[in-house]
Amino acid sequence: MVFEKNVSNDMQTLGTEMASRINTDTRRIRAIEQRLGGIELRIGALEEKIIDEIDHLRKSFEQISVDIKAVTDNLSEIRSEILKINKNLDKTAKKAEVKELETLLDIYNPIKSRFTTKDEVARIIEDRLAEKRQTTT
């Protein structure tokens, strides 16, 4: 019987040891599961944030594309207007031509120039002829 008590005591110790190890392993598994749950939550939050950022970037790229299209259209309009201006400039008078016109206008300006009338010319001719007659006589 002494032998039986010893076996029974060993069995009890073995059972207690196994229960203790099982409890420890169970606690460890629960801790790992909790950490895993926290990691899964963080990963889910990161995935949502990445998806939001990708959507935001896509919208930004679309807006940039629209802006670039508008700038391209504006540049095309500016180019066509510059071509029209150049064609019109070819039709305008050059600086030398304007100067030539100014000189001609200055020459024919009745305010600055002295023009003689027909009567004045006739009177001058008569005066000169009369002077010649006096000097010859």
pLDDT confidence tier of residue 2, bands split at 50, 70 and 90:
very low
Residue 101 lies in a domain: yes
pLDDT in tens, 68-109: 999 999 999 999 999 999 999 888 878 888 888 888 887 777
Give the residue with greater pLDDT, 96 vs 44: 44
Residue 33 lies in a domain: no
Residue 127 lies in a domain: yes
Tell me the residue range of the domain where 99 lies: 93-137
Give the whole-angstrom CA distance, residue 104 versus residue 106. 5
pLDDT at 116 over 60: yes
Q: For the chain, state the CA radius of gyration.
A: 57
Residue 108 lies in a domain: yes
Residue 88 lies in a domain: no
pLDDT confidence tier of residue 1, bands split at 50, 70 and 90:
very low
Give the residue with greater pLDDT, 43 vs 117: 43
pLDDT value of residue 71: 97
Residue 51 lies in a domain: no
Residue 58 lies in a domain: no
pLDDT at 7 over 70: no
> How many domains does the chain fold into?
1
Residue 28 lies in a domain: no
Predicted TM-score (pTM) of the model is 0.48
